Amino acid sequence: MLLGVANTTMPTPVLVAGGALCLLGGYLVGVVAGPDTPQRTTAVVSSFTAAGDRLCLKGEAVKDADGAEDGVLCGTWRRSAASSSTPVKGQEFRFVLVRGQDSDRKPATLIYGDVVR
């Protein structure tokens, strides 16, 4: 038996405040030390070729992007299941870029996004 061990209770408001501080601290650590999330940006469709889903974008958001040539960035468009329309030159396009390598170990750009409605 445990003799001499006292049973203490903490007031409920103190317990709730302590729990809230722990949650806030965990959130802040996650925000500061967590992974960077890609930003969704907007550009203008320069061209789109349905064969191979080749999409080229131009504008401030892509002019300095890795792989852009003369202010135009081209890549393979990966559309969502909800996407029913194809991009047309001059339309505004909201996207996220993912850079990687294709099967031949060449640099590849995937463009995830859709036309802004």
Task: Give 45-78 pLDDT, tens digit per residue.
Answer: 999 998 888 999 999 988 888 888 899 999 999 8
84-98 average pLDDT score: 88
Place of tokens 């550009």: 43
Q: Which of 44, 38, 70 is nearest to 57 (CA)?
A: 44
15-43 average pLDDT score: 81
Q: Which two tokens stand for residue 100?
A: 């990687």
Measured distance CA(36)–CA(77) in Å, rounded: 22
Torsion of CA 43, 48, 54, 59, to 10 degrees: -20
| More confidently predicted of 66 and 37 | 66
Domains of the chain: 41-115 (2.40.50.140)
Average pLDDT, the chain: 83
**Predicted local confidence at residue 117, as pLDDT:** 79
Place of tokens 């349905």: 50
